[in-house]
Each structure stands twice: as C-alpha cells, then as structure tokens.
Amino acid sequence: MVPKFLFSASFVLFFLLHCPPALAQSPAAAPAPPGPINVTKVLEKGGQFSVFIRLLKATQEDVTLNGQLNNTNNAITIFAPSDSAFSSLKSGTLNSLSDQEKAELVQFHIIPQFLSSSLFQTVSNPLTTQAGSGGRLELNVTTTGNSVNITTGLTNTSVSGTIYTDNQLAVYQVDKVLLPLDIFTPKPPTPAPAPEKPKKRSKAAASPESPADTSGAVSFTVLNNVVFFGVCMVAAIYSL
C-alpha cells in the first residue's frame, strides 16, 4: 500500500517537474496540425502497459485504433490491463493463445464508444466490445460509490485509474486482464466444417463446360448463377 503510494507520488512529482516545459514548448515548435491521437504513445506515457502495448502491436490493433481515432466521428474507450495484471495470469496463458485469440482478447478490452466516468453510471449492459457482443463476449460495467466494477463472467475487477481522456478517447487502467468466456471456457460443439471440398470444386467450375463439377452444392449454385447471368445477358441484348 505505502510503497505504491510513494511510487505514485514520485511519479506525479516526476510528471510535474518534467512535463510543463515539454507541453509549453510543443505548440511553439509545431504550429502544424496536431494530428490524430496515438494510442501507443498514450499507453507508453502511462508507464506500466508494456505487455498490452506489445499485444496491440502484435495483433496490429494499434494501427486499427489509430486509424479509427483519425476520424473524429469515432470514439473509443480502452480498459488497459497493467503489466501486473498480465503477470498475475496463470503462467503460459498468453502463449497458449492463437493469433486470432490474442486479437480477440485485445479487442475485448476496447469499447467503440466514449465512456466518461459519469457515463459509466448510465451505460447499458452488456457492453459491445471491438471483439463483438453476445453471451460469450459479455462485459458488464456497474458503479458503486466511486468504484467502477467490471465483470465478464470470469473476471471481476474495477477501474483503478484514468490514464487519458479527451472527448474521443478514454483509457482506464485495470489491474486484471479481462478474460472473455469465449476464449477461456470450452467452446460449444460446432457443426462439422463441411464447406471445404465444395469450395475447391467451385474454382474448377469456373469453366462451365466441365459437367463433372456439378456434383457439389456450391458449384451447382455457381452454375445456376452463370445460367441466370446468361439469361440476363440475353434479355439485355434483346432489350437493346
């Protein structure tokens, strides 16, 4: 408790000592347009998000976010897990994820709307995240007093600090990684992946003369469309 406070205090002191000159200088040095916000830079300034930054880069979500923020019509809220949040995960958790799951995990921490702290009180649950919505991607936010609690069905935590906020982007620190049910609970059985073979055949069916290719459902549809297209062509020619 105490060391953490001291750390925060010294950080604030560092910030106070070093930042005003930098802030005062930059408008003079760069009268050019300030450019869009850079999420990576915001997190780097926060000082304790190196794992999350690494994940953002690895999944190219940083590029996506910066692109979205370049359009002032887009607003974004990020629940950024601190490095200690990642280090308290069961070891090997991140390494066990596929690239797609890593992207989903990152996107699950990003809400495509601007949530100021007062909006937390009126937000309607569950929130939609960049990873999507629905029962397996549930993210609920509730407030009690000054605390903003977050639950995913697997993770309970609360917002532990505000890293950045303007009217377009809000970045809050969380000290637990928000685990979506979708990645960390067994998937419900999915129907057998049938479309593999017909897909290959439909390529061959590009030449409509080969009658052997009519066997697959997909290629049959393709053939039908070719016939339909042909009929339209004929109709178009006659209507001229």
Ligand X SMILES: *[C@@H]1O[C@H](CO)[C@@H](O)[C@H](O)[C@H]1NC(C)=O
Residues in touch with ligand X (CB under 6 A): 36, 38, 40-41, 44, 66-67, 70, 125-126, 138, 140, 142, 144, 147, 149, 151, 153-154, 156, 158
Name which of 21 and 145 has its Cβ closer to ligand X: 145
Provide the 3-class DSSP secondary structure of residue 39.
Answer: helix
Name which of 140 and 165 has its Cβ closer to ligand X: 140
Name which of 102 and 136 has its Cβ closer to ligand X: 136
Output the smallest distance, CB 218 to ligand X, in A.
39
Name which of 81 and 153 has its Cβ closer to ligand X: 153
b (16+ CB within 10 A) / e for 7-17? eeeeeeeeeee
> Residue 104 is encoded by which pair of tokens?
């989903």
Output the smallest distance, CB 182 to ligand X, in A.
12
Name which of 32 and 212 has its Cβ closer to ligand X: 32
| Residues paired with 171 in a beta bridge | 78, 164
> Residue 160 is encoded by which pair of tokens?
């532990």
Output the smallest distance, CB 119 to ligand X, in A.
16
Which long-range contacts (C-beta less than 8 Å, at least 24 apart) are formed by 68-72?
68/112, 69/36, 69/37, 69/39, 69/168, 69/169, 70/36, 72/168
Structure letter (DSSP) for residue 69: H
Output the smallest distance, CB 40 to ligand X, in A.
4
Task: Give the dihedral sign, CA 117/120/122/128.
Answer: positive
Count of residues in the chain: 240
Name which of 74 and 214 has its Cβ closer to ligand X: 74
Q: Which residue has the tokens 């609920």?
A: 140
Output the smallest distance, CB 52 to ligand X, in A.
13
Output the smallest distance, CB 69 to ligand X, in A.
9
What does 121-155 look like in DSSP terms, one character per residue?
A: GTPPSSPPBTTB-SGGG--EEEEETTEEEEE-SS-
